Amino acid sequence: MTTLNRAELSAAVGDDGWRLILGDLCTQAAAGSLRQSAEAAAALAGVELAETDPRLDARQDRLLVTLAGAFRDGGADPAVVADARRLTTRLRELGLTPEPARSQTGEIAIDALDIPAVLPFWRAVLGYVDESDVAIIDPAGKGPSFWFQQMDTPRPQRNRVHIDVVVPHDQARSRIDAALAAGGRIVGDAEAPAFWVLADREGNEACVCTWQARD
C-alpha cells in the first residue's frame, strides 16, 4: 500500500482545516459554551472513521480535535485524509469552523548521558508510561510528553532541560518573531525548519518545532 510522507499528508488536509503536529493531525473550533462543545464532541464521536485514533477535548470555549498517530512508522495511510475530511464536514454541518493555526503541543526534553539510568526516575515520579526507549507520555493524555536526548559529554554550563513547542509549520515564523520581540534570541537554526533553538535573556532554551525536514 502506498503511504503518504509528511509533506503529502500536510498538503492533503491543509485546506480542510488540519495541521500536522509531529505525528498527529490537529484542529480546534471555537464554541459558545461547554454544552455546545460537548454536543459537538458527541456528534464527532458518531462519525465512522476507518483508520485514526480520534481524541476529543471539550472545553468551555472550544473543542480540540486530535487524530493521534496519523503519521507513524514513516508514513500515513491515505485513509487518514478521508477521516480528517469526514470530521471537517461534520464540524461545518454543526456551524463550527476549524481553526488549525491555534493548534500546538508541548514536549519537555532532558539531556542525559545515560538515558536508561535516568528515564525510570521520570517515568515513576510523573506516573507516565513508555512511548519508546527514549520517550514517556501521560497515560491520561493531559501532560506534555518527555523525551531524552543523548548527550556525549557533560555540559555543566548549559541547561539540560528545555521545552519543545510544536506548532503548525505555517505558524513557526510568527511564533519565533514574537519570542524575539519579547527579548529572546535565536541560538541555533542549523536544523530549521525541523526546529529552531531560542533562548531567553538568561540563556534558558526552548525549541520551536514543526513537522518539516524530518523525513
Q: What confidence score (pLDDT) does residue 195 get?
A: 97
Q: How confident is the model at residue 106 (pLDDT cuts 50, 70, 90)?
A: confident
Is domain 105-209 given the CATH code 3.10.180.10 in the classification? yes
Per-residue pLDDT, 39: 98
Q: Return the pLDDT at 141.
A: 80
What are residue 105's phi and psi, to 5 degrees?
A: -145, 165
Report, as an integer, the average pLDDT of 102-122: 90
pTM (2 decimals)?
0.83
Does position 154 have pLDDT exceeding 80, yes or no?
no
- What residues have CB less than 8 Å from 64, skipping those under 6 apart? 26, 28, 56, 57, 103
Instruction: Give CA–CA dist 105/124, Å, rounded.
Output: 23
For the chain, the structural domain boundaries read 6-101, 105-209
**pLDDT at residue number 157:** 67
The answer to whether residue 158 scores a pLDDT higher than 70 is no
Checking if the pLDDT of 202 tops 90, the result is no
117 versus 63: which is more confidently predicted?
63
Report the half-sphere exposure of 78 (CA within 13 A, side-chain side).
3
- CATH number of the domain at 6-101, please? 3.30.1360.20
